[in-house]
Structure 1
């Protein structure tokens, strides 16, 4: 302060004048440098005058990208914090001619509004659109990986199961069960909604060509349902909103030991304020599965041969009504019809007494009808990204399962029949509110109601079992709040979800005491995400996240009605299971390199009351193995993931992933404290070789290492696939062929070493040839994307 007083007193000093002028000039320069520019505008179709969402905005200086962004749902864009200088602004969108404008910022002009910018259709570009999805892409967002399905994946097989085999972090076992990061406790969604079908049924019944994208959400935020220890896999079905009428047709043929067929057609028509879309897909044909189990102590074996005759149909119909620029109403329905017949043949052989040998033939007929209905209304307020949305989803499943058991040889029982009838309904109601606060800051609030009702009826002609009924009703009421912000090079999101959970279950078995189960819980689920990008043009990105998860027992895990009956094995559920909880943290790093990119991920999970399979012998029949589920002690799991995409040459592309998962398990098996430490290795590599402009060859290999659990060890599994695809008709048509499991090494093998000493190996007709044909049609391929209605695609702030 004294120094400043002296300066004021020496106002006539020439030296002071020089210092003063220098200081003022310095302040002015700092103020001038601190000023930033902002450019805004709206991008429209020159012909239709409709807005174009998701167009690219690029600011360049001397061919160097300085900044940029994309247009929102209404074609508007805003690029802020721009240095005051002259730029070349480019606006690009697929199917349109790009536009370039020169804009200049200075101290007198820091805000530039370009108004309406009209893009003109590019006929040449339109002809090339059909081949833009030649290769699948993986985008790492702050809370998920999004895999866009390209021709390299749709040509590998007929079903979603074939595609998932190629996805990083995901494994499919011989039975069709899916695991994410080495754990089967994963939640499966269709278009962001739960379904009554099991993960195994979904993977087999969804045609590969009906998939648009797959989202891997390993650490979901508080906005989403907290179920699934290893996370969420969300399948997004195709539902384009291209202007005019257009579509695609796909057909495939698979031949292994038997023939299988798949077909799909996708249609879209948009005009004015209405958009209609739909797709139909089917799969039909036979497949084989065979295997054996040997018990070394009892010296008895069981060989199994199954012929599975499957027919499934998947239909999706929907429309969007763009009432005005503030209100949109949408509706769609998914319907799945599946009919399945399994002819099973089992030989039970006793090594020391062949007179006890017998044969069992079991014929299973299953009819499933699954339907979902989704209503969505969204209102946008005056302020950009300020909205409220109401969504109602209703899902039903009717399933009839009929079984015939026929015995020969030393019959363990008379022939008999069984039936299981399942009826399920799921109702989900969401109300979501999004409010931008300060600059780059957003508050999200929401409430959700989930109602589930299940009724099962079991009827049997086996005198050793009793007729039974099982009902299960669950109500979950949730409230969530999330707060997110962009702050210079940082992006973060914090959230909290509160849930009230109520369950009532009843099991009635003829001749036995009824079983009643109720559970009421109030839970809190926090989450947080942090992403750091050194600059807008940086090749590096870092992400950290944490969340609390819950795994509520699935219906199959708690349903005491028998799901599989053989003379040696019974699979059933345990209605006394309690939920397991998981605290999860993740750290991810993404690096762009010349000709590719590399991503590295790590995670740690702390698990309490872990749900897992257990096996024990029936007290009344020491030769009968019962497999169900139980809660085990607190366990820990951690893992490392490395994936890379690299293009060493213009004609050669490599996509690979390597995962290491480690898990420490503890539990009590037959009154004995047991602990197991397990490390699981997975590796995948997919190579594409572009022979000509239209011809591409593919080679895929997978290795899954050994895996230990408390009572058994799973053996390693590996296989190699090869294929080729050819584009014709200017990229609108594709012919593909794929040779799966060339060396016939794919298997599911195990060795049980606790309680039950046995070994087993199962295979299916995995060595097969797939031939597929796809074709795009329609007069206009202009790709104006529909507003996203899927719950997991809503307003992602961290693109």
Structure 2
């Protein structure tokens, strides 16, 4: 809240303070938002009797919520804020629901002051972003796309990353889940941005979230009134092939109950195109191998979610949700032509995922819950390869995977005197994984090991956290988590410390420091002693005994005027596992294998600078400069210790052409980089889009062209220790998307005026 907000609130509360009247110890609560459903902070709320006698007063918090410590049978609420029109509401119950304020212009002479809502707030060490405000007028079609518009967040290799923290975990409503990153991504791609209340960016995630390291907590809106609302969405995509999706989201809510239903169907049709140039040295002779590989994927994906939440009161609730994903017929084909071999791999796969989650929130600080995920996939592959020397290989493969994962947790927090906070909790996760593959109809000199592996994984955590909010504007927290982990014959005890400190004398200047530790475990399939084939030359090897990687990071962020963010960071990842290519010294084969490196290190600076020109140009510039070091002493016969300075720049621009029409232009650039033994050339993208809003802001039609110049994938070169490979990946990456969405929410419970019988005989 700025100084003007504070002065207005004090004047309002003081002017009504002469009429205080004692009533029973009951409460009236509610929430204040603007017309875009974003919370209004610092609104003065005055409670009066119908004949204008003052009863109580309060100021709305960061989520727009307020509570008044009295409840007459009938009352009047007066809501005032410097940036909005005052509003009067008559009520009778203890929950008044949501009060929507309309913006107001304050005119001084010839000067019109228009307020700019803050982009980011800092609360308890978290950077809270108003996602709807960030993506307003931008060509964004779902929550997953919107997350990539947060400062420092981008998608690399199909995974979200956060500048200064590397990989980032996405969680929903602050609750752990047994769904993996890909399954959660599908859910977010089918969730409209209008359902999101805020996103919390945490460089050092508090232990009660049961994830470590950096995270993005997507907080969905809670029920607060009687309504039925929803959104339907349809899109068309073209990236060499035609594809698209259709989604429907529906929500019925009362002040205590909310029911949600979502169904989406995706038509997926993609192609990836690679050129490989390999100068392969074997027994002193250099073989020049050239390949062109085309990977095609075609499928339908059915996504669904049903959820219900019931609020006993403001501080206690129960949530139950089911999420499902079904892919009945996935067609995966790989065709390779070249001077060394020509091959064709046809694949068919079926997969499905079911998740059910339960969460309980009590009124005395206890949160508890659990969830269960069941995942299955069955696949068949047929490979046929013809070699230039007349030999040929062929096989038929049948395989699959079964995963059952259970998780339970309980967290308790206490607000102690003098600003102290104490928390502690436990969690337990158990996973049963069954992988199998069987080769038949094998012909030629090719390794075809059939495997059948069952793994049981267990993780048990216990944590204690302590924090304090000081009157000086300093708040801090420290925590320690003990973990027991086992998989197969591997057993490991570990301890993970975390700490954060925030200094906020005024909202105009905020300094945040954090220390975090994180352990990441490799995928189950990557730890198998299996070999799979991309084509007749390239193979993927599993790595039994692959160790988890542990990350230690220190971050410092300085937030100015709740919109400019400057940061510095250091990150060290021990036992980093990464998949890298290697030209075999025993035969003509390119081996892709996940291996543990000694470590990776990054130290860097970042800056986010938004600016506006009038009401027609909204721009944001993000820059990250970092120094990278990758070291591995046991990479086949090629130890490496490589270092590189890397610069990333992103510039987002939104031009408001008129009230309902906006144009968007985005650019991204990264200087040459390294990844182990790889050298990655400079890369950049340019995206453009247009968005039209109509039908009273309920409908939107947008068109976007991503990666206009086909430059988003870098050329990759491997020229190290006798290895000589060049990979070109940028055949057709340009994507055109046309999207239509319509929001509705016409039903509202009618207010029924009660008949005044106060003077009648009972």
Report the equivalent of 1:405: 383
Equivalences for 1:509-658 in 2 at 5 Å?
Answer: 518-535=489-506, 538-592=507-561, 597-618=563-584, 621-658=586-623
**Correspondence 1:222 to 2:201:** no
Task: Using the TM superposition, give the Cα deviation of residue 527 of structure 1 relative to its aligned residue in structure 2, in angstroms.
Answer: 1.1
Distance of aligned partners of 1:160 and 1:286 in 2 relative to their CA distance in 1, 3 Å threshold: farther
Residue 422 (structure 2) aligns with: 443
C-alpha offsets along residues 304-351 of structure 1, whole Å, 9 cap, x if unaligned? 11222132222111111234566422201111123432222111314x
Q: What residue number does 1:513 align with? A: none
Contact 2:334 2:535 in 1 (8 A): no
Q: Does the CA contact (< 8 Å) of 2:672 and 2:681 recur in 1?
A: yes
The within-5 A match list for 1:150-165 is: 152=135, 156=139, 162-163=145-146, 165=148
Report the Cα offset of residue 478 of structure 1.
1.0
Q: Match for 1:488 among 471, 491, 509?
A: 471
**Structure 2 CA distance for partners of 1:257 and 1:607, relative to 1, 3 Å:** closer
Give per-residue Cα distances to partners, 1:140-197, cap 9 Å, x unaligned.
Answer: 5523454625694896466776555544333434x53444338764444455556666
1:283-322 C-alpha deviation (Å, 9 max, x unpaired): 2132221111111342101111122213222211111123
- How do residues 92-241 of structure 1 correspond to structure 2 at under 5 angstroms? 98-99=87-88, 139-141=121-123, 142-144=125-127, 146=129, 148-149=131-132, 152=135, 156=139, 162-163=145-146, 165-173=148-156, 175-181=157-163, 185-190=167-172, 192=174, 199=181, 203=185, 206-207=188-189, 209-210=191-192, 212=196, 215-227=200-212, 231-234=214-217
CA distance in 1, matches of 2:339, 2:690: 45
SS of 2:561's partner is strand
Question: 1:390 corresponds to which residue?
Answer: 368
Quickly say closer, same or farther: Cα 1:307–1:121, change in 2 above 3 A. Answer: same
- Partners of 2:601 and 2:400 lie apart in 1 by 38
CA contact (8 A) 1:70 1:77 kept: no
CA gap 1:604/1:693 in 2 versus in 1, 3 angstroms: same
C-alpha distance in 2 between matches for 1:359 and 1:618: 19
TM-superposed deviation, 1:120: 8.8
> Displacement of 1:502 after TM fit?
3.2
In structure 2, list runs of 5 or more residues that go unmatched: 1-16, 32-36, 46-57, 70-76, 104-115, 281-286, 750-762
Cα 1:197/1:762, change in 2 over 3 Å: farther
Q: Which of 244, 250, 257 matches 1:267? A: 250
Q: Which residue of 1 aligns with 2:705?
A: 739
Cα shift at 1:116: 6.9
Aligned partner of 1:508 in structure 2 is none
Match of 1:321 among 310, 314, 324: 310
1:701 and 2:701 are equivalent in the alignment: no
Greater alpha carbon shift after TM alignment, 205-214 vs 215-224? 205-214
CA offsets 1:651-707 (integer angstroms, 9 cap, x no match): 110022111222222222445542111222211111111111111111111112221
- Residue 197 of structure 1 contacts residue 397 of structure 1 at CA under 8 Å; is this kept in 2? no
- Count, aligned residues: 676
Give the aligned CA root-mean-square deviation in angstroms.
4.0
The alignment's TM-score, normalised by the length of structure 1, stands at 0.76
Whole-angstrom CA distance in 2 between matches of 1:329 and 1:651: 44
Closer, same or farther: CA 578–209 of 1 in aligned 2, 3 Å? closer
Higher relative contact order, chain-length normalized (CA < 8 Å, sep 6+): 1
**Residue 502 in structure 1 maps to residue 485 in structure 2:** yes
CA spacing shift, 1:150–1:280, aligned 2, 3 Å? farther
The answer as to whether partners of 1:490 and 1:533 remain within 8 angstroms in 2 is yes
> Are the structure 2 counterparts of residues 170 and 119 from structure 1 closer, same or farther at C-alpha, using a change threshold of 3 Å?
closer
Structure 1 gaps of 5+ residues are 1-35, 47-51, 61-66, 79-87, 102-114, 126-133, 351-357, 381-385, 506-517, 783-799
Residues 1:349 and 1:716: Cα distance change in structure 2 (over 3 Å): same
Q: Sort the Cα spacing of 1:140 and 1:313 in 2 relative to 1 into closer, same or farther, 3 A.
A: farther
1:306 to 280, 295, 300: 295
CA distance 1:710–1:69, change in 2 (3 Å):
same
- Kindly provide the CA deviation profile for residues 87-146 of structure 1, in whole angstroms up to 9, marking residues without a partner as x: x99556999963599xxxxxxxxxxxxx97968966989xxxxxxxx9995555523454
8 Å contact kept, 2:29–2:68: no
Deviates more, 1:563-572 or 1:701-710: 563-572
Give the structure 1 partner of residue 338 of structure 2. 348
> Which residue pairs with 2:745 in the alignment?
778
Distance 1:97 1:731, change over 3 A: farther
Corresponding position: 1:337 with 2:326: yes
Instruction: Assess, with a 3 A threshold, how the Cα gap between structure 1 residues 200 and 332 changes in structure 2: closer, same or farther.
Output: closer
Q: Deviations over 1:523-572 (max 9, x none)?
A: 1111111111122xx41111111122222333244233335432222123
Shift of 1:773: 1.0
SS in 2 for 1:70: coil
Mapped partners of 1:53, 1:687: distance in 2: 23
